[in-house]
Amino acid sequence: MPNTLVIIPTYNERDNIGPIVARVRASVPQADILVVDDASPDGTGVLADALAVGDTQVHVLHRRAKAGLGAAYLEAFGWGLSRGYDRLVQLDADGSHLPEQLPDLLAAANSADVVMGSRWVPGGQVKNWPWHRRALSQGGSIYSRVILRLRQRDVTGGYRVYTKYALERMQLSNIDSLGYCFQIDMLLHAVQARLLVVEVPITFVERTLGSSKMSGRIVAEAMGRVTLWGLTGMGATRSTVARAAASPGRG
């Protein structure tokens, strides 16, 4: 396996961090893990430090305050690239992204620049979501796809693999989205950089411990920004996209 870093951002995930780290280590034993904690008041960062003491493949990046998912990932990307990792993975701490499916995503990254775990392609599914949550997610993806002229089906999903090649060409310094639309912003930059993007079906499972950070206000703010991007001509001008097992890319 290429040199892989699994990035797990956390804020108040004390009940979830231990189990998710253990599952990642079991699923991809060769990969390293970086927990990025935004000064969780529930002690998540302290627990992550304890996990790192007992496992040299677990690392912790402490941030001073809660500053948004996008900011956490961008700092983690810089951390990983500066240390020579070839594959950088986005993975939620709450168990909604199944670590057991990560080998499939990493396999696809051998022939693509960006791999997206997708709920809305054939074979993808969502478990334990009420109908209104499903409608909100699918609606957000469809709206963003149309206004930004994107071909990908699950543009808001956060289970992804970026190659070093991709991140070095995506002009990350121009990404200032911190919340829900960060994933859309990253995809838009990947497409504009003419990278090969593939979608791999995943099963998304609603968290069982802790509370979600998602709200209607956050989604509304994100859609407002997406609308602005679309109206100002910032959508994709050339969408380089493929399904899993499509034409080879740059690994």
Could you tell me the residue range of the domain that residue 164 belongs to? 4-243
* pLDDT for residue 249: 42
Is the pLDDT at 100 greater than 60? The verdict is yes
Backbone phi, psi, residue 38, to 5° = -90, 55
**What's the CATH number where 132 sits?**
3.90.550.10
**What's residue 209's pLDDT?**
63
Cα of 169 vs its chain's centroid, Å: 17
User: In whole angstroms, how far apart are CA 35 and each of 52, 70, 110, 175, 204?
Assistant: 9, 14, 24, 21, 21
pLDDT of 250 reads 53
Whether the CB-CB separation of 61 and 76 falls below 8 Å is answered with: yes
- Residue 151, pLDDT above cutoff 70: yes
pLDDT of residue 160: 98
Residue 249 lies in a domain: no
Mean pLDDT of the chain: 87
CB atoms within 10 A of CB 40: 20
What torsion, rounded to 10 degrees, do the Cα atoms 123, 129, 132, 133 define?
A: -80
Look at 6-20, 28-42, 110-124, 136-150 and tell me which has the smallest mean pLDDT: 136-150
Q: Kindly list the distances between the CA atom of residue 217 and the CA atoms of 9, 55, 67, 146, 229, in Å, as whole numbers in the listed order.
A: 21, 39, 17, 21, 19
Is 158 domain-assigned?
yes
pLDDT value at residue 135: 74
- Tell me whether residue 176 is in a domain: yes
Residue 134 domain flag = yes
At residue 94, the pLDDT reads 93
Instruction: For residue range 213-227, list pLDDT tens digits in order.
Output: 555 556 666 677 778
251 falls within a domain: no
Is residue 178, in this structure, part of any structural domain at all?
yes
Helix-strand-coil percent breakdown of the chain, rounded to 5?
Answer: 40, 20, 40
For residue 251, is pLDDT > 80?
A: no
Helix (H) or strand (E) holding 126: strand 125-127
| pTM summary value | 0.87
Asked if residue 177 has pLDDT above 90, the reply is: no
Structural domains counted in the chain:
1
